[in-house]
Structure 1
Amino acid sequence: MTPAATAAHRQAQAPAGRSTERPATGKDRPRRPRLPGRLRRAGLPYLLLLPAVLVELLVHLVPMVMGIMMSFKELTQFTIRDWSVAPWNGLANFSATVDFDAPVGEALLDSFLVTCAFTVLSVGLCWLIGTAAAIFLQDTFRGRGLLRTLFLVPYALPAYAAVITWAFMFQRDNGLVNHVLHDQLGITDGSSFWLIGDNSFIALLVVSVWKGWPFAFLIIMAGLQNIPRELYEAAALDGAGVWQQIRKITLPSLRPVNQVLVLVLFLWTFNDFNTPFVLFGKSAPEAANLISIHIYQSSFVTWNFGTGSAMSALLLLFLLAVTGAYLLVTSRGRKQADV
C-alpha cells in the first residue's frame, strides 16, 4: 500500500469529530506579544506612587500655587472674603518687601538676620552634640541601652508639650531655670527675664537644640553602624589615638550622612514655627522674631495677606537657592573625594 493510501485509510478509520493531525507543541505555537505584560510591570511603580502624588498635590503644591497667586493681589481684611476677585497688585507687594529703607522691608531684614543666626547656631550645636553622643555610645558598655532611650526622649515627645514645659521652666518668678541659676548656683545676680528681651534668643536656642539634637544623634548613630570595626582596630595598632581615629576614619566615613543631615536640619530650623509660637505667643520679642513668626504677624495680625504671601514666596525662593547651591557644592566635593 502506498503512503498516500495508508494516510487515507487512517483518516477513514478515525472517529468523527477528531483530527489525526499532530497537536502543535510549544515551539510550533505562535508566541504572544509580551508588550502588554511589560507595560503592566512598568506602570506598576507609577500606580503605587499615584496616591502619594495626589496627596502631595492637595497638601503642598495646590496651596503653594494659591499662595504665589495671592502675592500678586491686594489682599487686606476688606478683600480677603473673595480673594480670587481681589484687585491685582502686580509686583507692588514684592517691592514693598525688599525695600529695606521702608519699615516693612527693614523689619523683614532684621527678622531674616535673626533667623540666619539662630539657624546656624542651632544646626551647629545639634550636629555637634548629636555626633559626640553617637560616638560616645558606639562602644558597648553597661547601661548603653538606657542612655540611648533617654537621649531620644526629647525627639519622641510632642512638640507642643515639650515647648510648653520649657515655657513654664523659663518663668521669671517660679521657673526652674531661675531657681537653679540664681537660688542654687548663684550664677546670676537676680531672676532673669527669659521670654522677653535679649534673653529670649537664648531661650529659643536652648529649646530648639534640646528638641533637635536627638534627631542628629539618631542619624549619626545609624551611620556609625556601617563603618567596619577593623578600620579602628588597624588604626589602633598603628598607634592612632581616639581623636585621630575620629578625624581620619569616623568623620570622612560619615560625610554622606552629614550632608543629608545638615540639609534637613537647616530646612527644619529655618522654617520652624511651632517652637517660637508656643514659647512666645503671637508676638515674639524682637531678639527672637524668626521669619516664620514675622510672616504670620504680617498676614494674620496686620491683615496684609498680600505682603505676607510675597514674603513667603521670597522665602521659598531663598530656600530653593540655598538647597540647590548646597547640593551642587557637596556633589562636587564628593566627586573630588572619589577621584
Structure 2
Amino acid sequence: MNNQEASLKQPSLNQAPPAERRGFWRSELRRLKNNRAAYLFIAPLALVIGLVLLYPILKAALMSFQYWMVAKPIPEGHPFVGLDNYAAVLDSGYFLKSLGITFLYILVTVVLRFALGMAAAVLLNIPFKGRGLVRALVIIPWAIPEVVTCLVFILMYDYQYGVINDLLLKMNILSNPVAYLGESDTALWAAMFVNVWKGFPFAGIMLLAGLQGIPKSLYEAASIDGASGWRKFVSVTMPSLKPVSVIVFLLLVIWTIKDFGIVYVLTGGGPSRVTEILTIFIYRAGFKSFDFGLASAAGMFLLVISVVFTVLYMKATKAGESA
C-alpha cells in the first residue's frame, strides 16, 4: 500500500483512541439535545409508520416462514417450516401464471397511460378557447373512485344491455354481442382499458406541468433553425421532459404493481383465472384458501418487486433535483 492509499484510509470509530470515542458520543448527544424539538415532532409520525407499515411487513415476513394454514390447524400451532412456503409458491402454476399476467398488465397499461398522457399534455399545452374547461374535464376519470368507475364499465360491458355492444352492433363492427368480462380472450384487455382510461389523466397533468416549465426560447431557437413541429418535439420537448417523464413512468409502474380494486371488481380474477394478477393471487391464498403462510410468501415476492421500482424512483427523483 502506497502513502496516498494509506492517507485515504480512515480509521473506524472502534479503532479511535478512547478520548476521541468519548468526544464523538458527546457530540452526538449534544446534537440530539439541540434537535430535541424536531425529533419530538417527528416521533408521532414515526410511531404511526411503524405501526401501520413496518410491523405488518415484519409480521408478514415472519409468517412466510411459518405454518399458517388456518383451515388445517395442527397441535404445534405455527411452527417454522423454513422455505417451504416459498417453494410452494414457486411450485404453484397459478403463481407463475399470475406473475406473467401481472407483467403484461403493467407493461400495457403503463405504456398506454404514459403515451395518452403525453398526447393529452401536448394538446392541452396549445392555446385554444375553452382550454381551462377541457383541462378540468380531463381530470374527471382520475378523480372518480375506482369502484364507481368499475360499476359503470360493468354496465357498459354488459352482454345484453351494454352500450359498447349496442354501438358496435349498430356500426356493423360486430355481428354478435361479446361478453367482454366473461370471455378469456377479452377479460384482461377489458380490465386494462378501464385502468388506462382512469389513469392517463394523472400522467397528462404531470407532463403538462413539465411542458409549461420548458423555456419558450428553446422553441424559438429551433424555429429559427427551421425545425419542424415533430423535430421540436423530439429535440426540445422530450429531452427537457426527461426528469419528469422518468418519475411519472416509475410512479405508474409502482401503482400498477399494487393494483387490486379495478381487476377484482371487474372480474374477480376470472374467468378461469386469466385476469388473476399477483395481488388477487395473494388475496385468494390468504382469504379464500386461508393459507396465510403461502400468501405471506407470495407477498414477499411482490414486496421485492415494489422495492426495486421504489429505489429506481428515489434515484430518479434525486437525479431530477440535482439536474
Quickly name the TM-score band, shorter chain normalised.
Answer: 0.7 to 0.9
Equivalent residue for 1:124? Answer: 111
Gaps of 5+ in 1: 1-34
2:237 aligned to which of 250, 255, 261:
250
SS of alignment partner, residue 274 of structure 2 = helix
Report if aligned partners of 1:284, 1:293 keep a CA contact under 8 Å in 2: no
Structure 2: distance between partners of 1:57 and 1:284: 39
Q: Does 1:186 align with 2:178?
A: no
Distance change in 2, residues 1:43/1:248 (3 Å): farther
- Residues 57 and 176 (structure 1), Cα distance of their counterparts in 2 relative to 1, 3 Å cut: same
Query: Which stretch shifts more, 143-152 or 71-80?
Result: 71-80
Paired residue for 1:55, among 48, 56, 63?
48
Contact 2:269 2:275 in 1 (8 A): no
Select which of 57, 61, 68 maps to 2:61: 68
For residues 207 and 73 of structure 1, the distance between their equivalents in structure 2, rounded to whole angstroms, comes to: 38
Q: Match for residue 22 of structure 2? A: none
Structure 2: how far apart are the matches of 1:112 and 1:154?
Answer: 28
Distance (whole Å) between structure 2 residues aligned to residue 299 and residue 191 of structure 1:
36
**Partner of residue 14, structure 1:** none
Give per-residue Cα distances to partners, 1:272-308, cap 9 Å, x unaligned. 0011111123655432111111111111111211111
* Residue pair 2:71, 2:289 contacting (<8 A) in 1 also: no
* Cα deviation code 1:74-129 (max 9, x no counterpart): 112246799x9422222100111122xxxx2x111111001101100100000000
1:316 offset after TM fit, Å? 0.9
1:135-175 deviation line (CA, Å, top 9, x unaligned): 11112210101110111001111111111111111111111
Q: Are 1:293 and 2:280 counterparts? A: yes
Equivalences, count: 295
Which among 141, 159, 174 is matched to residue 172 of structure 1? 159
The answer to whether residue 187 in structure 2 is matched with residue 195 in structure 1 is: no
Q: 1:254 is aligned with what amino acid?
A: L
The residue number in structure 2 matching 1:15 is none
Q: Secondary structure at the match of 2:264?
A: helix
Q: Are the structure 2 counterparts of residues 38 and 95 from structure 1 closer, same or farther at C-alpha, using a change threshold of 3 Å?
A: closer
What is the distance in 1 between the residues matched to 2:293 and 2:196? 33
Q: Which amino acid aligns with 2:190?
A: A
Which one is further off, 214-223 or 233-242?
Answer: 233-242
CA 1:212–1:157 in 2, change beyond 3 Å: closer, same or farther? same
Tell me the amino acid that sits aligned with residue 306 of structure 1: G
Q: 1:217 pairs with 204, 224, 238, which one?
A: 204
Q: What's the counterpart of residue 90 of structure 1?
A: 82
Distance (whole Å) between structure 1 residues aligned to residue 146 and residue 261 of structure 2: 7
Deviations 1:287-333 (A, max 9, x none): 211111111111111121111111001111233234446766x6999
Identical-residue share of aligned pairs (%): 33
Q: CA deviation at 1:215?
A: 0.7
Root mean square deviation, CA, Å: 2.9
> Do residues 272 (structure 1) and 259 (structure 2) align?
yes
Contact 1:112/1:291, CA 8 A, preserved across alignment? yes
Q: Give 1:248 deviation, angstroms.
A: 0.8
CA distance in 2, matches of 1:213, 1:331: 21
- 1:109 counterpart = 2:101: no
Q: Given the superposition, is the C-alpha separation of residues 331 and 38 from structure 1 closer, same or farther in structure 2, using an over 3 Å criterion?
A: closer
Structure 1 residue 208 corresponds to structure 2 residue 225:
no
2-structure distance, mates of 1:155, 1:179: 26
Could you tell which deviates more after superposition, 185-194 or 123-132?
A: 185-194
> What code does the residue aligned with 1:107 have?
Y
Q: 1:157 to 1:326 in 2, by over 3 A?
A: closer
Query: In 2, distance between residues paired with 1:255 and 1:153?
Result: 26
User: Is the CA contact 2:253–2:309 (under 8 Å) kept in the aligned structure 1?
Assistant: no
Partner-residue secondary structure (3-state), 1:205: helix
* TM-score for the superposition, normalised by structure 1: 0.79
Distance in structure 1 (CA, Å) of the matches to 2:160 and 2:314:
47
1:139 maps to amino acid: I
Paired residues of 1:72 and 1:90 also in contact (CA < 8 A): yes
Distance in structure 2 (CA, Å) of the matches to 1:326 and 1:37: 35
Do 1:276 and 1:284's aligned partners in 2 also have CA atoms closer than 8 Å? Answer: no
Distance verdict in 2 for CA 1:174–1:92, change over 3 Å? same
| Distance in 2 of aligned mates of 1:163 and 1:190 | 24
The residue number in structure 2 matching 1:312 is: 299
Question: What CA distance in whole angstroms lies between the structure 2 residues aligned with 1:214 and 1:244?
Answer: 25
Partners of 1:282 and 1:122 lie apart in 2 by: 17
- 2:247–2:313: 8 Å Cα contact kept in structure 1? no
Mapped partners of 2:227, 2:41: distance in 1: 50
